Amino acid sequence: MVLFPPAERGDEADVNQSREAIIDWVALHILPHEAYVRAWLMRAMRRSSDVDDVIQETYCQLAELDTIGHIRNGRAYFLAAARSILLQRLRRERVVRIETVTDMETLRVMDEDPSPEQVIGARRELERVLGLIAMLPPVCRQVVELRRIHGFSQKETARRLGVTESVVENHSVRGLKAILKALESDPGDVQDAPASYERSSVHVRH
């Protein structure tokens, strides 16, 4: 795996470009759908720690990809990958929760026929990014805005805020963690998010 800018490892420029392309693709076509996929898994698995594990394993698979050119619909791909990991786990553990089966039927249809409505509008996506930044605590938010929105270097950001670079780094890490956390639960594609899980099971008479 190659992680560094091409200038520093010239002979691997092509590989780096494809790594950059994958990061870009994950940023725009996978990460925004994480809350959706989590909600779907949550209906199937119930326990959030199980969901975390499946999501984690899905990103592992994505990290092993060499190219993303063959993938048409990010969300359908994400769902299909998560589903196959879920199935492996269910088989391995002999844990059967049948809510899964129902949803898999729905999912199968979705895989074959991704409708245009399932793709988030780019503009809405960007509004959402700005919304996420706005939710950060004040100092953290300033750092993230200067670094990401205004594109200042870490050094320049530190100078402007009158703090050390390591303070800027710490706030950047904190901000990134908060935003990744928010992406877990904040469905960007509200209009076609999966129906919230409802327990229809309490039969009670008055």
Partner 1 sequence: MSDIDAQAAEWAVRVDAGAIDQAERDALELWLAADARHRGAFLRAQAGLRLLDHGRVVSKVLPIPSRPGSRLARTPARLVQGTGWALAAAGVIAVAWLLSPFHDFRTETGEQRRVALRDGSVAIINTDSRVGVNFVGRERRVALRRGEAWFQVAKDRAHPFVVDAGAVHVRATGTAFAVRREEQGARVVVTEGRVVAWRDGASATLLAISAGQEAFIADAAPLPPTAQPVRTDDVLAWRRGEIVLGGETVASAVAEFNRYNERKITLRDPEAGRRTIVGYFLIDQPQQFALAVARMTGGEIREDKTGIVIEHSQQKAGLP
Smallest separation (angstroms) from partner 1 to the CB of 161: 15
Write the binding mask 167 to 196 for partner 1: x where contact by CB under 8 A, - elsewhere.
--x--xx--xxxxxxxxxxx---------x
Which residue, 126 or 192, is less far from partner 1 as judged by CB? Answer: 126
> 92-99: which pairs have CB atoms within 8 A and are 24 or more residues apart?
97/44, 97/45, 97/46, 99/43, 99/44
Helix (H) or strand (E) holding 100: helix 99-112
Rank residues 72 and 181 by Cβ distance to partner 1 and give the closer one.
181
Q: Any contact of residue 135 with partner 1 (CB under 8 A)?
A: yes
68, 61 contact by CB (below 8 A): no
User: What is the amino acid identity at position 90?
Assistant: L
Read off the amino acid at residue 49: S
Q: Pick the piece of the chain touching partner 1 (CB under 8 A) from 10-18, 33-41, 76-84, 113-121.
A: 33-41
Nearest to 23 by CA among 15, 70, 117: 15
Q: How far is the CB of 136 from partner 1 (least distance, A)?
A: 8
Question: Binding residue for partner 1 (CB under 8 A) from 10, 69, 116, 151?
Answer: 151
CA 178 – CA 72 distance, rounded (Å):
29
Q: Name which of 115 and 159 has its Cβ closer to partner 1.
A: 159
Candidates 15, 110, 129, 163; binder of partner 1 (CB under 8 A) is 129
Q: Quick one: tokens of 161?
A: 């805020």
Question: Is residue 149 at the binding interface for partner 1, with CB under 8 A as the rule?
Answer: yes
Q: Which of residues 44-103 bind partner 1 (CB under 8 A)?
A: 46, 48, 51-52, 56-64, 87, 91, 93-99, 101-102
204: left (phi over 0), alpha (psi -120 to 50) or beta: beta
